[in-house]
Amino acid sequence: MALSGLDIYKLLPGGQKPPHPKANCKECGFPTCLAFAMKLAAKQAELAACKYVSDEAKAKLSAAAAPPIRLITLSADGRKIEVGNETVLFRHEKTFFHPAAIMVRVPDTLSAAEIAKLAKAAADYKVDYVGMALQLDGLAVEAASGDANQFAEAVAAVRGACAMPLVLVTEDPGLMAAGLVKTAGVTPLLCAATAANWEAMAKLAKEAKAPLAVRADSIAGLAELTEKLVAAGVEDLVLDPAVRSFSGSLQTVTQLRRLALKKNYRPVGYPLITFPYLGISDPALEELLAGQQVAKYAGFVVLSKFDPAMIYPLLVLRANLFTDPQKPIQVEPGVYPINRPTADAPVMVTTNFSITYFAVANEVESSGLPGWLLVADAEGMSVLTAWAAGKFDAEKIAKTVKNTGIAEKVSHRKVVIPGHVAVLMGELEEELPGWQIKVGPREAVDLPRYLKTAW
Partner 1 sequence: MPNVEIPVEKWIGSIRPITLGATTAEGGTRSQTVTIGGEKTLPFLGFEGKAPNRPRIAVEVRATNPAADWPAPLVTAWGDVLGDLAAWTRAAEGTDGDIIVLQLSANDNNGQKMTGAKARAALRTVLKTTGLPVIVFGVGQAELDNELLVAAAEEGAGERLVLGPCEDKNYRTIVAAALANGHLVTSRTPMDVNLSKQLTVLIHDMGMPLERIIVDPTTGALGYGIEYGYSVMERLRVAALQGDGMTQQPMIVTPGEEAWRTKEARAGEGVPVAWGDWAARAVNWEAMTAATLVESGANIVVMRHPEAVGRVKKMIGELMTA
Binding residues vs partner 1 (CB under 8 A): 90-92, 125-129, 218-221, 223-224, 227, 245-248, 250-251, 254-255, 258-259, 262-263, 265, 267-268, 280-282, 284-285, 287-289, 291-292, 295-296, 307-314, 316-317, 320-321, 323, 325, 353, 355, 359, 362-363, 366, 382, 384-385, 388, 443, 445
What is the closest distance, in whole angstroms, from the C-beta atom of residue 199 to partner 1 in the complex?
17
Residue with smaller CB distance to partner 1, 73 or 251: 251
Q: What is the 3-state secondary structure (H, E, C) of the chain?
A: CCCCHHHHHHHCHHHCCCCCCCCCCCCCCCCCHHHHHHHHHCCCCCHHHCCCCCHHHHHHHHHHHCCCCCCEEEEECCEEEEECCCCCCCHHHCCCCCCCEEEEEEECCCCHHHHHHHHHHHHHCEEEECCEEEECCEEEEECCCCCHHHHHHHHHHHHHHCCCCEEEECCCHHHHHHHHCCCCCEECEEEEECCCCHHHHHHHHHHHCCCEEEEECCHHHHHHHHHHHHHCCCCCEEEEECCCCHHHHHHHHHHHHHHHHHCCCHHHCCCEEECHHHCCCCHHHHHHHHHHHHHCCCCEEEECCCCHHHHHHHHHHHHHHCCCCCCCCECCCEEEEECCCCCCCCEEEEECEHHHHHHHHHHHHHHCCCEEEEEECCCCCCHHHHHHCCCCCHHHHHHHHHHCCHHHCCCCCEEEECHHHHHHHHHHHHHCCCCEEEECCCCHHHHHHHHHHCC
Residue with smaller CB distance to partner 1, 144 or 439: 439
What is the closest distance, in whole angstroms, from the C-beta atom of residue 17 to partner 1 in the complex?
25
Residue with smaller CB distance to partner 1, 147 or 443: 443
What is the closest distance, in whole angstroms, from the C-beta atom of residue 355 to partner 1 in the complex?
5
What is the closest distance, in whole angstroms, from the C-beta atom of residue 353 to partner 1 in the complex?
8
What is the closest distance, in whole angstroms, from the C-beta atom of residue 446 to partner 1 in the complex?
9
Residue with smaller CB distance to partner 1, 13 or 441: 441
What is the closest distance, in whole angstroms, from the C-beta atom of residue 385 to partner 1 in the complex?
6
Residue with smaller CB distance to partner 1, 14 or 441: 441
Residue with smaller CB distance to partner 1, 36 or 297: 297
What is the closest distance, in whole angstroms, from the C-beta atom of residue 147 to partner 1 in the complex?
33
Residue with smaller CB distance to partner 1, 191 or 360: 360
